[in-house]
Structure 1
């Protein structure tokens, strides 16, 4: 399904919810795609199992070294600290916004829509997220829904959002469908 497609996974140096990185990563690989880890710093990133440190993962490129033109889609894993850090780094925000500007699919789970709010790309879109982001997303002009996955093609690209790790099966399937050209 994703033969020859390369999908960026944008994360901060720490605070990534590990399962929200590894399950979509594995889904992309199983569908024949190539996942690449993009961060704000070189080296390795530290994932977490909620608040406990988990595994470390090697960074393939930094957000200032690549652009949306280098990829076919974007995954934004959650964790509270991960998107909170990303939204403070202009290069990371610009990298995420570039996918919207290019009309490429983006998948964001849990707290990850914070980065999209900072990028100014959620206005007029139907989304879901961890419940605590509901007001933030509404204030940014999005229509929040309490569903395991929301696929919105109302803007320049397909945006896939999910609430939490329990939604990963539906999130991964919707993301792979969108990355393969079948989503929306």
Structure 2
């Protein structure tokens, strides 16, 4: 069983989180049955963008990365506190530990920015939300910012906005299973 940790910051975007939950869940039930997703945050209860409340499976201090095969990080809204959590040292350290163990890390939209701040994208190709301020921030972390919707470099996946979300989740599934299995799940989900 491949276990995916969905790392959520306060102010995370629900849609971007939900694609990882759905794709891995569809794979568990209708694909090859090999993936299970768990949620994690700095606190047990957090709020999404637009202030919906969520209770996560784990807090960051409870995580043993040896129990997981991949990390997924959705983006979020600054107005709802996203960067306060996403740039928190405990949040960044969890990213670094996944990278140190050479595990897949997938992000959507500004979820790439904590990857950049953690240092795991330094010298790598990446992308983020397609606005000048966010692209400049990512470049400031030593990332070679590409003007394309999804960038994959050395087990690190970044993307530029919510429209890429389902494709990022399916690309993560492909990397964890097979191209054929991801295509099957994509077809079953109607994408």
1:36 to 22, 35, 38: 38
Cα 1:28–1:102 change in 2 (3 A) is same
Deviation at 1:181, TM superposition (A): 6.6
Runs of 4+ more than 4 Å apart? none
Aligned to 1:98: 97
TM-score relative to the length of structure 1: 0.84
1:22 to 18, 21, 24: 18
Following the alignment from structure 2 to structure 1, what is the Cα–Cα distance between the partners of residues 175 and 164? 17
Structure 2, unaligned stretches of length 5 or more?
Answer: 29-34, 183-191
Structure with a larger share of its residues in strand? 1
Aligned to 1:123: 122
Deviation at 1:109, TM superposition (A): 0.9
Deviation at 1:150, TM superposition (A): 1.0
Alpha-carbon deviations, 1:99-128, whole Å to 9, x = none? 110000000111112211221111121111
Following the alignment from structure 2 to structure 1, what is the Cα–Cα distance between the partners of residues 167 and 58? 28
Following the alignment from structure 2 to structure 1, what is the Cα–Cα distance between the partners of residues 26 and 144? 32
1:1-184 matches, cutoff 5 A: 4-12=1-9, 14-32=10-28, 33-42=35-44, 44-48=45-49, 52-53=50-51, 55-81=52-78, 83-131=82-130, 132-153=133-154, 158-180=155-177
Deviation at 1:83, TM superposition (A): 4.5
Alpha-carbon deviations, 1:75-108, whole Å to 9, x = none? 0010123641224422211111111100000001
CA RMSD of aligned residues (A): 1.9
Following the alignment from structure 1 to structure 2, what is the Cα–Cα distance between the partners of residues 109 and 151? 12
Structure with a larger share of its residues in helix? 2
Alpha-carbon deviations, 1:8-63, whole Å to 9, x = none? 01112x30111000112111111221111110012x32223xxx33x433211111
Following the alignment from structure 2 to structure 1, what is the Cα–Cα distance between the partners of residues 116 and 86? 8
Following the alignment from structure 1 to structure 2, what is the Cα–Cα distance between the partners of residues 19 and 169? 9
User: Is the contact between residue 87 and residue 118 of structure 1 (CA under 8 Å) also seen in structure 2?
Assistant: no
Structure 1, unaligned stretches of length 5 or more?
Answer: none
